[in-house]
């Protein structure tokens, strides 16, 4: 599955196909292709090192973070 950002061009919307995928499928410019469109939810995943750093920082600074979040 390919994911991409929807862009506007004139009255149309565009999603680009990466060159590697075009080459893998043996496609050529002007060829007709089939596309299924679905909204995609992307959630970042923290590495274990980053999660550990966050947890340590949260323990040291929770009060300050909560203060900033309330502003």
Residues whose CB is less than 8 angstroms from the CB of residue 42 and which lie 6 or more positions away in sequence, other chains included:
3
Q: Place 1 in a pLDDT band, splitting at 50, 70 and 90.
A: confident
Q: Please state, in angstroms and rounded to a whole number, the distance separating the CA atoms of residues 68 and 71.
A: 5
The pair of three-digit structure tokens given for residue 64, joined into one six-digit string = 């300050």
Measured between alpha carbons, how far is 37 from 53 in angstroms, rounded to an integer? 37
- Least Cα distance to 31 among 40, 20, 39, 23 occurs for 23
- Sequence spans of domains, the chain: 7-69
Single pTM value for the model? 0.50
Helix (H, G, I), strand (E, B) or coil at 45: coil
* pLDDT tens digits for range 26-60: 999 999 999 888 898 888 888 999 999 999 999 99
């Amino acid at each position: 599955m390919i994911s991409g950002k929807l862009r506007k061009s004139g009255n149309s919307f565009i999603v680009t196909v990466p060159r590697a995928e075009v080459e893998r499928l043996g496609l050529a410019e002007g060829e007709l292709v089939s596309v299924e469109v679905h909204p995609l939810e992307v959630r970042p995943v923290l590495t274990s090192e980053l999660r550990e750093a966050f947890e340590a920082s949260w323990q040291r600074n929770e009060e300050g973070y909560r203060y900033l979040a309330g502003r």
